[in-house]
Amino acid sequence: MRLLITAGPTREPIDPVRFLSNRSSGRMGYALAEAALAAGHEVLLISGPVTLPPPSGLQLIRVETAREMFDAVRTHLPGCDAAIFSAAVADYRPAQVVSQKIKKTADTLTLQLERTEDILGSVRSQFGFHGFLVGFAAETENLIAHAQDKLLRKGCDLIIANDVSQSGIGFDSLENEVTLCLPGGQTMPLPRQSKTALARELIAHISRLSSPQAPK
């Protein structure tokens, strides 16, 4: 199948030398891309700024901001059979980007932020995507309840939920421990393991669940 994967953080500029971003390393998304390629799928990776080498054999589109990622997803989603949204997209960006470096004149500085585009949330409603849709839910409390709510709100077929309050897993870590949340309230915990091993397992689940003839 043809698979679109988003990965990494986004950077939202404040001025020519500063930005808002987050701790995402892109490792989970890049591991998923690699595992999907190894399983024989065609992969389009839309990546925010990361230091990882891109796996060879895929189509890579580099973006910086949430808006650029939104545009890239909208352009490239048609023709894909499945999409996995593993990017840690900034939820807010500075409402104004100033063209000159902000000088430290006052003792305090207030930044006004505005919401970014909800990329995953636009896939069904705005882009009319009918393929298999996978989102991530990074939560610090009520993991399963928040993940199930996200699954319904965004029209996903699968949410990969991880508890980011635990150290050593998730954001900027080599390992992850997730729970799969499916429509109908079904959940499946997967054990803590390297992101590489987990990615292989996740791609196998996604291939099985998205196959029209397979039992869900």
Interface residues toward ligand CTP, by CB under 6 A: 6, 66, 85, 87, 89, 91, 116-120, 135-138, 150
Cα separation, 22 vs 61, in Å, equals 20
Closer to ligand CTP by CB, 117 or 163: give it: 117
Closer to ligand CTP by CB, 75 or 101: give it: 75
Cα separation, 93 vs 95, in Å, equals 6
Q: Among the options 22, 142, 162, 176, which is catalytic?
A: 22
Cα separation, 21 vs 90, in Å, equals 7
Q: How many CB atoms lie within 10 A of CB 117?
A: 18
Closer to ligand CTP by CB, 129 or 136: give it: 136
Closer to ligand CTP by CB, 8 or 106: give it: 8
Burial string for 133-150 (b: 16+ CB within 10 Å, else e) reads bbbbbbbeeebbebbbeb
Distance in Å, CB of 176 to ligand CTP, minimum: 14
DSSP state of 196: H
Distance in Å, CB of 146 to ligand CTP, minimum: 6
Q: Check residue 71 and give left, alpha or beta (phi > 0: left; psi -120 to 50: alpha).
A: alpha
Distance in Å, CB of 15 to ligand CTP, minimum: 22
Q: Is 22 a catalytic residue?
A: yes
Distance in Å, CB of 119 to ligand CTP, minimum: 3
Which residues are designated catalytic?
22
